[in-house]
Chains A and B, each alone.
Chain A
């Protein structure tokens, strides 16, 4: 099948899919709600991610991550349970994640303790849901202006009895994603400047 035919078929399928979605949403009262912690502000800016992505995501398309070489990391917040106190296990996890984030991000950025120009500002909160799931809310801001660059809500099932494996994986993931954005924006800027690498 050539590309044109494939695209035409895709367009047809998408149209039919769209109709089905409209019908489905008309029949269902509400779709599954993605539960958030309340740590972030303006959840309306976030939208559901693709498959395999964070549950909710916002990325500022104008942001140029190649302009950032440092990062200010707020201590990871252990989000309280409804009774007002985070579980001890959640506090320990938050401490682990805090340590993991500082270790991993120090490999990519200079860690700073002030909102300097050219620095990102990372805010993170962690909650345990029913002991089997973790919810992570992350926000990356421009440290100097406070402008939101990325915000994400991620929910993961604990796949290992050793929950530090999960916090370590999250820290590596956040580092790699920010590093990938820097890489992409750097190449993008170079091309825009007419000096393709």
Chain B
């Protein structure tokens, strides 16, 4: 009885536990609601253009941000696609695909 209660509590906690702050593997992506997916894409775009990590980094951040935002709908479907295919749904798939978009958008 005690064990069953503990299991029930553990299952409930796991079910309602929020996703880690920035976990974006396919497993997490597939569990997200649509609005959370959009939030996550927005946050990734922020990460790509905010801050000052680079030494010279003289890219036009506004242009890159605009280009990434223009592609956000493509990203949404891209991420859904790769995460629904067991052959491509690796942990790093989203990060890798997002870098593809960065690679493209820096060339503007």
List the interface of chain A (C-beta within 8 A of B). Answer: 3-4, 6-7, 10-11, 14, 49-54, 57, 59-62, 66, 107-109, 152, 173, 175-177, 179-184, 186-188, 191-192, 194, 196-197
Contacts and interface: CB of A to CB of B under 8 A. Distances in A.
A181 B22 contact: no
A184 B99 contact: yes
Contacts of B76: 7
A196 B21 CA distance: 9
B107 interface: yes
Contact of B100 (A3, A49, A191, A196): A49
20 contacts: A10-B77, A50-B100, A53-B107, A57-B100, A59-B103, A61-B94, A61-B95, A62-B92, A108-B54, A173-B107, A175-B56, A176-B57, A176-B58, A177-B107, A179-B56, A183-B54, A187-B48, A188-B47, A188-B95, A192-B22
* Shortest 3 CB-CB contacts between residues of A and residues of B: A61-B96, A61-B92, A191-B22
Contacts of B55: 107-109, 179
A7 B76 CA distance: 10
Interface string B4-36: 000000000000000011110000000000100
Chain B interface, >50% SS class = helix
Interface residues of B, number: 43
Interface in B82-108: 90-104, 106-108
Contacts of A184: 44, 47-48, 98-99, 102
Nearest to B93: A61
A175 B55 CA distance: 11
B103 A61 contact: no
Among B44, B53, B58, find the residue whose CB has the most chain A CB atoms closer than 10 A. B53
B71 to A, nearest CB: 8
Chain A interface, >50% SS class = helix
B56 A59 contact: no
A194 B99 contact: no
Nearest to A47: B100
B21 to A, nearest CB: 6
Contacts of B97: 61
Nearest to A11: B77
B93 to A, nearest CB: 6
Interface string B41-68: 0011011111101111111000010000
B73 interface: yes
A165 to B, nearest CB: 15
